[in-house]
Structure 1
């Protein structure tokens, strides 16, 4: 009897378990397997016969090589990775009369045994300190014996860490280049903790990169990486969690893959984050995948966000494209300084301004303000904002210098193109060139398209008055729709026409309200006088003369206030809208109140009349029909009226006897 048989009998004899322990179950199966090597058989059997537990078994076993699949050699660690179809033994199952196993198709490591005769239990124990050892197998082709161990347990961390998770997946990819595989695997095997994962390299299949396009300003490509970068291990999904799917990346061609080293990667990563390596399937060029970061700012600044969108637009003109792109690439910290290409369908209510030979329009989107990380888009100010569109006669002459010159008087938002005329147009802010701000005249101008008197002369007169009202909105006349008046009552008739009293529902303009983007008004439902000139539907010289001269002195307190013009829809006569003198003219007032007036009151009235005459004279006018009936008494003020009878101091009749107005 040889020594091995004696030792087996001794072990069996020494088993005094009063139950079917693991050792007994293992012993019954000895005849069903052999490693082909007596020394290895003895090692495994001795180990199994020492396992007297009933529950979890920790014994070694002989593992047939055909129970392993996906075997792949890992260069860096000089081991093989594989899948073990059956999984490891847990305990004996009395029902099925077989070993209960866990983790079928589990990842394991295979380490070649150089000299099987040297294998001892002590040797196996040393291996099991960093790794759990399951048993031994043999490659039928090379005849090499191999230790089968738990590849999920990191030798450094003594647990399953990120390095082992990366290692398990080495079998799932290859770059097709040993140097690149080795570089990526080294990076991954050095990544043990979650905080290190974002720094790891990976092989990125080209199919995961969309919208690849060469950027003409440099020798790199831009792309959209569908999966995004790894951030941590996800235990629930047993896969890598990733941040920012569909992120923008730069692809930089590697001229010599053999020269790629950790030092080379570190050098690139000074200005950029390196995510990994990919390969162009057409050219077979290997490419480093970098984060799309500004080299000047060392972060993803506005210029990068603009650059990522270059492929989504074109003006159809290379000079204009280049001008806009250059302005966007220089807008690192202030996006509002960049020009942009704006398709013409983003404008509405486009109207040609005959006064300035430009177009005015509403811009639906409004100008770029800053980047919104949550929505991954540009945040914009002032949607539906008013802009000026100025035709560019020669697009080739549009340079940075040209833009800067215009920018001294206007904010330039970008460039668009009229699809009908094919004219390129600058998009400018709609500000007053005199005030260099959004003054009253601009707010009035924006509303020109919303009203008409039906007469070009009156339209122009009202518009001119509004365009001169830069600082004081009350200085402007306005067109007042007739339906804005109610309770219209006849008062009196004069030489030129009739006067009515009415209630003006809206009241007069005070100032612009930025919050509500409309005119703030005073004295709603105020009483006004409507002065109708006979036959004014056919605009007469007298009517135009009166409104022109009255507007000339309209801001003086001692001259009756002139608010604007309306039209009776039935008679079609045009009507002047004036302050209403509730006390009538001075003659009527004195008839009813003379005895109540003190000398102080009388002197005050005379002073008001003198002041009114002085105001008219300051404008180089003379009244020519000043009498007590043309002096009106308001609640607390005495004013002059019938200003239409005024004439310039150098007035003379024309040859045909008619007056020249304005």
Structure 2
């Protein structure tokens, strides 16, 4: 077939070349020939030409996976190469009469079942199921929880939650008030390797151990519910839970997290860091360049020191040294601190917290001349 290029404006000439070539090949099956010809006539200049290829053109055939996917060398090669299309041609084994779809070598497919995916959910779940009996806590209910968590995987970046023998942890160091520790996990967690299309371990990974001292008795439904609740809450964060273990001496169960845990939780008190803007009293003389905006209850200003923000690296609140543009909402006729005043302030706070797009409430101030209180909001 003559070379097909993208330089045919409407590709009419290119399709004429394809039509003339119909008599030069046949699959031996009229229905299949008609199907291939229809595919070829729908060819757009940027695609590969879908065509029939004699089986004898395929050499060095090598099976991959479970006998339904193989790789080979096509001697003549495709009529037209385009990197973003997957199917080249259809062929047939002359002995078995099995039809074959021929794909480009870097196409995305599962080596085990042949499905078009680098991460085949069903194949990976089958592998996990086959491994259930190889790693067990020895407690049926806990094993069922772990298996339930494993079967929830839905993508190749999901963490495999597993039972981790306590002797896998070395260099255990207590942090804070005795319910948290860091350790090195010798075998390390499972990560999906796209090249191998399998899960491999990242050895000697640093992990955080959270001891469940309040749940160290026999495994009950309450224990399982509480454990699952903690895992699900923490999976909403950037850090993740690798699995569960147990200290053989104290019998305390342990949730195992990656080392990003302390970016979100205080190692001393174990509480979640609060990253909200702190609501505070703001001296009126900190507000400059006050300008009315619309009616007389809303104005703009510059807050010289700016609000307090949580610094993740320092793990404390600091002020942004740069000035901050803010909006001032004057609470006229509410100069006295009473229930009406407090209810008005609360209503402003609640209305803003219910709307993710509304202004942040930085705090409250007071005009020393008019005695009007002022809500200080994000600009």
Regarding TM over 0.5, the answer is: no
Larger radius of gyration, structure 1 or 2?
Answer: 1
- Of the two structures, which has the highest relative contact order with CA contacts closer than 8 Å and spacing of 6 or more? 2
- Whichever structure has more helix as a proportion of its residues is 1
Give TM-score, length-normalised by structure 1. 0.22
